Amino acid sequence: METLWLMPALACYVISAMIFVASRFFGRTRASGWATMLLGAGVVLHALDLTARGLQAGTIPVANFAESLSFLAWLTALAGLMIIVRRQMAVIGAYIASAVALALAVSAVMMHGARLVIPETLRSAWMPVHVTLAILGYSMFVLAASTSIVYLVCESRLKTKRAIATPDDPVPSLEKLDRINYSLLAWGFSLLSFAIISGAIWADATWGHFWSWEPVESWSLAIWIMYAGLLESRLTAGWRGRRAAALTIVVFVVLIGSFVGINLMYPGKHGGSFG
C-alpha cells in the first residue's frame, strides 16, 4: 500500500540528518535548530502515514518486516526528538536522524510487494500492546546506542586533549551523556520485559502455551539477559562511562543482527504465518 506521506516524511528525515551532520562538521550550532524542526516535521508526516496504514488494516500497521521497521523508525524519531528538545541533546541528532532515515528508506524499498494480512486468529487486544512495547523498547536501545557513540567520541577527545579545539562547542558533559544512557537502558529493559510477558500471555491465549522457543523468542530472551547484565554491572560493579558505552554499542549490534537476521532468515515464524 502506498500513502502520500511516506516520501515527504523520508525527505524530511534525510534533510534533517544532512543538516545535523553538517552542523557537527562545520560547528554551525544554530543550524541544528532547523534540523530539529525538520525531524519534527518528519515525525508528523510519518505519523500520518502510519495512521493511514493503521486505519486500512484495522489495527497497528506491523503486518510485515517493512512495516515493523517503519514503526520502529517513527518511535525512535519521536523519542529522539523529545530527548533532543528537552535535554538539549542536539548532538545526538546526527545519529538519530541518520538511523531513522536509513530505517525508513529500507522500509520504503521493502514495502513494495504483496501485502500480508494479519490472520484472524491473531487479532487480539494483546497484539498492539505486545508489538508497541517491543518496538518502543527497541527504540530506546537505538537511542542508548547513539548516546553511547557520542559518549565515546567526546571521551576520546578529552583523553587525547583534542577537546580543546572547540572549547565553546555546546557538547553535553560526559556525566550527562552517561546518565541519559543509563536511563534509556533502564527504560528499554523495562519495556522489553513487559513485551516478553505480554507476548507470553498472548501466546497462551492463542495457542495454549506461553513459550515455544522459536527464534524471536529465544533471541529476545538472550538480548534481555544481555541488557540485564549491562544494568547489573553498573549497579553492582560500578561499570560506567566508557565501558558502559562500549558495551551498550556491542549489545545493540547483537540486537540489530538478530532483528534483521531473524526477519530475513525465518520470515513468518514469529506468531505464525505472517511476518
Partner 1 sequence: MDQSLFILGVNHRTAPVAIRERLAYADAEVVAALERLRRRARALSEAAILSTCNRVEIIGVAPDVAGAFDDAAAFVAEDRNAALKAFAPSLYRLEGRDAARHLFRVGASLDSMVLGEPQILGQMKIAYARAAEAGTVGLVLHRAFHRAFTAAKRIRKATLIGHGSVSVSSAAASLAGRIFDTLSDKTVMMLGAGKMAEMTARQLKSKPIKSLVISSRTFDHAAVLARELGGIAVPFEDYRPHLKSADIVIGSVASTRPIVGPEEFEAVIKERRYRPIFLIDLGVPRNFDERLNRLENVYLYDIDDLGQVVHKSQAEREREAARAEEIVELELESFWRWMNGLDLVPTIRDIRYSIDRLRDLEMGRHRGWLKGLAPDERERIDLLTRGLTNKLLHRILQGLRKSGNSAEGAYTAEVARKLLCDELGVSSDELDALEDSTADAIADDDRADREDLRPDIGDQIGKK
Q: Which residues bind partner 1 (CB under 8 A)?
A: 154, 158-159, 161, 163-165, 167-168, 171-176, 179, 237-243
268: three-class secondary structure by DSSP: coil
In angstroms, give the least distance from the CB of 185 to partner 1.
16
Between 74 and 182, whose beta carbon lies closer to partner 1? 182
Between 56 and 173, whose beta carbon lies closer to partner 1? 173
Alpha helices in the chain (DSSP H): 6-26, 31-57, 65-86, 93-111, 126-159, 174-207, 215-232, 241-265
In angstroms, give the least distance from the CB of 1 to partner 1.
46
Q: Which residues are CB-contacts of 42 (< 8 A; sequence separation ≥ 6)?
A: 9, 10, 11, 12, 13, 16, 77, 100
The CA distance from 100 to 174, in Å, is 24
- Closest Cα partner for 220 from 137, 139, 147, 161? 137
Q: If you search the block for the grid coordinates 518528519, which residue do you land on?
A: 42
In angstroms, give the least distance from the CB of 30 to partner 1.
11
Between 179 and 269, whose beta carbon lies closer to partner 1? 179
In angstroms, give the least distance from the CB of 88 to partner 1.
11
- Tell the burial category of 49 from Cβ atoms under 10 Å away from its Cβ (0-12, 13-18, 19+): buried
In angstroms, give the least distance from the CB of 27 to partner 1.
9
Angle formed by the axes of helices 31-57 and 65-86, nearest 10°: 140
Between 123 and 162, whose beta carbon lies closer to partner 1? 162
In angstroms, give the least distance from the CB of 272 to partner 1.
46
Between 53 and 234, whose beta carbon lies closer to partner 1? 234
Between 120 and 168, whose beta carbon lies closer to partner 1? 168
- Tell the burial category of 238 from Cβ atoms under 10 Å away from its Cβ (0-12, 13-18, 19+): exposed
